[in-house]
Amino acid sequence: MNLILIAPPAAGKGTQSELICNSYNINHISTGDLLREITKKNDEFSLSVKEKMEKGLLISDDIILKLIKDEIINSNNNIFDGFPRNLEQAKAFDLMLKEINQKIDYVIYMDIDKEILEKRISSRYVCPNCNSVYSFNEPDHECSKCSVKLIKRKDDTLEVYENRYKVYEESTKPIINYYKNQGVLYCVDADGSKEEVFANIKKVIGEI
Ligand code: AMP
């Protein structure tokens, strides 16, 4: 099964991906996480990726498509979190999948208002080790899995969020119609607890 999650930034794609992976034994491919791994190095390429991410800008399609190709070559059971991010990536992805006799089974659009997400941004913390996402009103918490101190993502400020949301509206939103026309799009209400949203997703993909 190949499943794509589309959602505005900070809507809970990572959290839902984790829940789906645990229940459905499916491989989690997050382009954001793959890129954050790259930014841990100190060479020129890594620094240029880091700079763009910190501004909330998209990384070039060539880089992203190469990352995806390396991931799907060994797996046909994947959840794509944060990819595709624009029409060019979506079209190139279709061709890539066709070449290896794979297809997209579900595209789930997590529908939620921007105002709710803006409120969430200030309380969002992540584990620098396993990338799990948490919500706290104050700092100094540890990851319940890795016991590592949680951090704030550099792009989780209101200012950068505005940019990320603008990029989402301009570049990512058009892929919703693209997948609607392919007959694989499902819309779920993403305004709720992580369990409620997961229940909405399970209604779409079924209990396996
Ligand atoms: P995310 O973790 O999905 O919120 O992604 C964090 C940042 O990584 C984004 O704001 C972009 O700068 C970059 N990024 C992640 N996925 C993609 C993608 N598919 N195409 C281009 N840039 C991406």
C-alpha closest to that of 192 among 124, 139, 120, 127 = 120
Distance CA 28, CA 148 (A): 21
- Find the DSSP H helices in 25-172: 31-38, 44-55, 61-72, 87-99, 114-121, 158-167
Residue 35 CA: nearest ligand 1 atom is 8
pTM (predicted TM-score): 0.92
pLDDT tens digits for range 30-74? 999 999 999 999 899 999 999 999 999 999 999 999 999 999 988
Inform me whether the pLDDT recorded for 207 exceeds 90: no
How far apart CA 20 and CA 195 sit, in angstroms, is 11
Give 71-102 pLDDT, tens digit per residue.
998 899 999 999 999 999 999 999 999 999 99
Q: Assess whether the C-beta atom of 165 lies below 6 angstroms from ligand 1.
A: no
The answer to whether residue 169 scores a pLDDT higher than 80 is yes
* Cis ω before 84 (30° cut-off from 0): yes
Ligand 1 atom nearest the C-alpha of 10 is 4
**Distance from C-alpha of 192 to C-alpha of 196, rounded to nearest angstrom:** 6
The residue length of the chain stands at: 208
What's the gap between Cα 197 and its chain centre? 15
Query: What confidence score (pLDDT) does residue 74 get?
Result: 84
Half-sphere exposure of 177 (CA within 13 A, CB side): 5
Tell me the per-residue pLDDT of 106-163, one tens digit each, with 9 for 90 and over. 999 999 999 999 999 989 999 999 989 999 999 999 999 999 999 999 999 999 999 9
pLDDT over 70 (residue 186): yes
Angle among Cα 144, 149, 150 to the nearest 5 degrees reads 80
Catalytically annotated residues: 13, 85, 124, 153, 164
Strand order in 2-6's β-sheet? 27-30, 78-81, 2-6, 106-111, 185-189
Instruction: State the pLDDT confidence band at 208, using cuts at 50, 70 and 90.
Output: very low
Nearest CA among 4, 14, 12 for reference residue 85? 4
| DSSP β-ladder status, 124-126 and 27-30 | unpaired
pLDDT confidence of residue 47? 97
**Which two tokens mark 53?**
């991410």
The C-alpha angle with vertex 189 and arms to 191 and 82, in degrees rounded to 5, equals 85
- Shortest-distance Cα residue to atom 8 of ligand 1: 32
pLDDT class of 10 with cuts at 50, 70, 90: very high
29 lines ligand 1 (CB under 6 A): no
pLDDT surpasses 60 at 164: yes
Share of the chain above pLDDT 90, in %: 95
- Distance CA(29)–CA(113), nearest Å, equals 25
